[in-house]
């Protein structure tokens, strides 16, 4: 009976967590299917039927031509995340595992450099990028995002690399693997519970970034999703339905990816490492 109560309270907790996390987003989903007339009313309409419409999705993809923004975001953010992951993994491995002189200083520098607010960074960065002709390019924005997500990734990976038992390193060394090889085939797989959040959080940070994207890109050929959504509002009118549709389009694939990604890899590998 005690177990039953505990299980019930656990279930309530899980439901509470899901509702708390999902409710506003579900509200967005509903809004994206409701016609403007219903959205203007004072009483909320809880379900989008009858009278549901696909007009907002049509607006987003056809009238506002949102597709290119998504493509741009994917290109810029995936590139930035992958490159940042590689650099961060190398650096975190070195700090956590190898005899790097001045580890504390390096870690401190990584943190210090990330402490200035973006506002103060925008203008000087703009000048540099202007001179290097990197404005309104994929490389330019990607490069900036790499610099932005590195501190977060380095710290997360460093924390997780530290926690791995040294025996695993040594076993790899006995097998004849050099530091890079052991990093790639041994450390990272074992540290995957840490690599996954690093990648996810780094990617989402770039995905949502607005200020720098607004300043450094000027054409729909290179502008990203946040810029596209910010430009939905011309002068005053906020197109709630269209914005909701855009945010659904932009968030759902991310969540689906996380669903697949997390389930398949994380549990499998951790279990394997422990058995070893």
Q: Give residues 131-190 in contact with other proteins (rule: CB under 8 A).
A: 133, 135-136, 143-144, 146-148, 150-152, 154-156, 159-167, 169-170, 179
Terminal-to-terminal C-alpha distance of the chain: 38
CB 223 within 8 A of CB 141: no
User: What residues from 44 to 73 belong to the interface with other proteins (CB under 8 A)?
Assistant: 44
**Residue choice 48, 52, 189, 193 for contact with other proteins (CB under 8 A):** 193
Binders of other proteins among residues 106 to 125 (CB under 8 A) are 106, 108-121, 123-125
User: Residue 39's closest CA among 58, 19, 53, 60?
Assistant: 53
Least distance between other proteins and beta carbon 121 (Å): 4
CB of 118 to other proteins, least distance (A): 7
Nearer to other proteins, 160 or 186 (CB): 160
Residues 47, 54, 71, 98: which binds other proteins (CB under 8 A)? 98
Binding other proteins (rule: CB under 8 A), the pick from 28, 61, 70, 265 is: 28
DSSP 231: T
> Residue 35: exposed, middle, or buried by beta-carbon count in 10 A (0-12, 13-18, 19+)?
middle
- 75 binds other proteins, rule: CB under 8 A: no
Q: Give 40 or 49: the residue with its C-beta nearer to other proteins.
A: 40
For the four alpha carbons of 116, 120, 126 and 132, in that order, the dihedral sign comes to: negative
**100 φ/ψ angles, rounded to the nearest 5 degrees:** -85, 130
> Taking the complex as a whole, how short is the minimal distance between the CB of residue 109 and other proteins, in angstroms?
8
CB 196 to other proteins: min, Å: 7
Query: Residue 62 or residue 211: which is nearer to other proteins going by CB?
Result: 211
Give me the phi and psi of 217, to 5 degrees please.
Answer: -120, 140
- Asked if 236 interacts with other proteins (CB under 8 A), we say yes
Number of residues lying near other proteins (CB under 8 A): 135
Please give the DSSP secondary-structure letter assigned to residue 221: T
251 to 270, contacts with other proteins by CB under 8 A? 251, 254-256, 258-259, 262-263, 266, 270
State how far the Cα of 178 lies from the Cα of 163, in Å rounded to an integer. Answer: 20
Residue 262 per-residue DSSP state: I
Q: Which of 60, 76, 91, 141 binds other proteins (CB under 8 A)?
A: 91
Nearest distance from C-beta of residue 214 to other proteins, angstroms? 5
| Coil vs helix vs strand at 135 | coil
Listed in sequence order, the DSSP H helices in 183-239 are: 188-190, 192-207, 211-216, 225-230
Q: Cβ of residue 168: shortest distance to other proteins, in angstroms?
A: 10
Tell whether residue 234 is a contact of other proteins (CB under 8 A): yes
48, two tokens? 């989008």
């Amino acid at each position: 009976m005690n177990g039953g109560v505990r299980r019930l309270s656990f279930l309530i907790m899980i439901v509470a967590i899901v509702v708390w996390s999902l409710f506003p987003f579900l509200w967005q989903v509903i809004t994206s299917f409701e016609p403007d007339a219903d959205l203007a009313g004072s009483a909320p309409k809880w379900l989008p039927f009858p009278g549901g419409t696909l007009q907002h999705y049509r607006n987003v993809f056809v009238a506002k031509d949102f597709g290119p923004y998504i493509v741009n975001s994917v290109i810029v953010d995936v590139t930035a995340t992958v490159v940042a992951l590689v650099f961060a993994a190398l650096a975190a491995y070195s700090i956590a595992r190898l005899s790097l002189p001045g580890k504390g200083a390096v870690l401190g520098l990584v943190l210090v450099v990330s402490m200035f607010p973006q506002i103060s960074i925008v203008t000087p960065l703009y000048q540099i990028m202007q001179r290097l002709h990197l404005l309104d390019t994929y490389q330019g924005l990607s490069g900036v995002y790499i610099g932005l997500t590195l501190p977060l990734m380095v710290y997360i990976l460093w924390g997780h690399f530290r926690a791995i038992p040294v025996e695993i390193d040594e076993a790899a060394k006995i097998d004849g693997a050099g530091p890079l090889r052991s990093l790639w085939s041994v450390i990272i797989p074992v540290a995957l519970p840490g690599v996954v959040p690093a990648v996810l959080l780094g990617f989402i940070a770039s995905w949502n970034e607005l200020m720098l994207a607004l300043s450094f890109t000027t054409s729909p050929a290179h502008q990203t999703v946040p810029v596209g959504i910010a430009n939905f509002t011309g002068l005053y009118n906020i197109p709630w339905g269209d914005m909701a549709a855009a945010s659904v389009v932009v968030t759902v694939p991310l969540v689906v990816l996380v669903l697949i990604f997390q389930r398949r890899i994380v549990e499998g590998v951790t279990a394997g490492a422990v058995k070893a």
